[in-house]
Structure 1
């Protein structure tokens, strides 16, 4: 799955972390404040599940202490042990000096409150599609959306996740469509190994089938009630401007060609052959909306909003393709 990438800032000089005396930082809040200051000082980029230095600091502190992010407020003023303090400071230092995405340092990311394993074999998942499955497809937030784009989510029998990466969207789709079997495809053997671990961790081996191949290649004419995809969509200029954090991720998951639409075009051109008559395609394309609308002016694309995005994900029914 490819994702948003902010332009690379001018590389700052190496940051020398201050020495912290034992007991100088005591509570979870103390460590979050300290980490936030170090992250800002180092000019880190946040585009991997957390969107700002405070959220990332809280995420890393919670992971070190084996706490779910939702538990942070409960323990914010609790004191940490000397052993825990050492581990937290070491992780903060690794984030600053390596500039690797935080998810790679702890091998975990959360989407819609669910934990997923992740490492350098796959892109760090941070798609808007997970939120849209809840808000527009009869999920836990479905009533707020003013109606589902699929009339009866319980009637959905087959879902396809193209460019599945770590498998997180396939797993979230299985939650939203409890009666569906899910096929998930990726070209990367490494990414599929990560996806297989996540599918097993969530006990979904009987419902999710992983396929290695190029987009619709492995499907042999199968049709689906829903196709979801977060494909590579970063254009050539975006690839040149990728910040250091994003360069730690697989290039294959980002590179969408000159205008970012190489893979998206193929998906749009072939999707109808793999959809049921009442099915549809949900696809994330980042900031490529102007280029896509120019390339396909005849398509009645429905652009969906999320809490943090506007016009980065479209929906189109099979009948309109």
Structure 2
């Protein structure tokens, strides 16, 4: 490569290298092209929504060296690109991430950001208290602050490391006066506090699937994925314990992936309302108790 290398050249090079290496994608990008574009744009501090305006831009020697090093690191370590640049985006909103947290991706986040929760018949402006359970990086709590504009937001997680990352994001989004972080095992972190609405994207991956993870997914904290033999150990606990932590008329919005029929069989007396998004079908439920 000479001194007149363009972003287009590096993008083509990265896609070829990624495809030859057989990398796994799914942490904000679903294919080699999108992940390469993200890695390049974020590294250069350019808007990550569209690489096309920048394709013919020439790179300085320092920029080129940095990008080539990132591409090589992505291949040799198999760490997701978001960990390498310490940044990811959910519905266009930036979040700091590192290896202490799962890289956020959530259908609930999509639903809140795109206004897809209208079928719940919830007065979002009237809610005074909202809990984000298993908050991880704090992304859903931060999105919930916009969805519930008048509510105090509480965010809980078992992992102290994850909460340290959540604190970074809460501060970056200037929400320290609205979001309170709690450390503990599910509702144990909240005592007897009750909420108008509970949101949760808990670990829900079955053990066999976790054991078969490609290196990219194995690079994330296992506790953020593992939900027991069938994936629903924590989900069952949340369903059983949530009624004691909800105010009258409150509800639980929970992401569980596929296999919802298992939960319906386990809780035949509950009326699960399954929601779809633009990217999912029936992987999030809403319950009023």
CA contact under 8 A between 1:156 and 1:180: conserved in structure 2?
yes
1:183-194 to 2 correspondences below 5 Å: 183-194=154-165
Contact 1:22 1:82 in 2 (8 A): no
List structure 1 runs of 4+ shifted beyond 3 angstroms.
145-148
Task: Tell me which residue corresponds to 2:84.
Answer: 105
Higher mean C-alpha deviation, range 183-192 or range 212-221? 212-221
* Alignment of structure 1 residues 164-313 onto 2, 5 Å: 164-313=135-284
State how far apart, in whole Å, the 1-side matches of 2:213 and 2:273 are. Answer: 29
* Superposed CA offset, 1:249-269 (max 9, x none): 111111101111110000000
Q: Which residue in the other structure is 1:38 paired with?
A: 17
Deviation at 1:150, TM superposition (A): 4.1
Distance 1:146 1:168, change over 3 A: closer
Q: How do 1:40-189 and structure 2 match up within 5 A?
A: 40-134=19-113, 141-142=114-115, 145=116, 147-189=118-160
- CA distance, structure 2, for counterparts of residue 65 and residue 107 of structure 1: 13
1:248 shift after superposition? 1.0
C-alpha change, 1:230 and 1:151, in structure 2 (3 Å) is closer
| Structure 1 unmatched runs, 5+ | 1-20, 135-140
| Contact persistence 1:285–1:313 (CA under 8 A) | yes
List per-residue Cα deviations over 1:76-117 (Å, max 9, x = no partner).
332222221111111111101110011111111111211111
* Counterpart check, 1:22 vs 2:2: yes
Shift of residue 276 of structure 1? 1.9
Aligned residues: 289
TM-score, scaled to structure 2: 0.95
Shift of 1:148: 4.5
Q: Cα distance, 1:146 vs. partner?
A: 8.5
Cα offset, 1:46, TM superposition: 0.8
**What are the superposed Cα offsets for residues 285-318 of structure 1, whole Å, 9 maximum, x if unpaired?**
122323222222332212212222212111112x
Q: Judge conservation of contact 1:230–1:284 (CA < 8 Å) in 2.
A: yes
Q: Which has the higher contact order (CA 8 A, sep 6+)?
A: 1
- Give TM-score, length-normalised by structure 1: 0.86
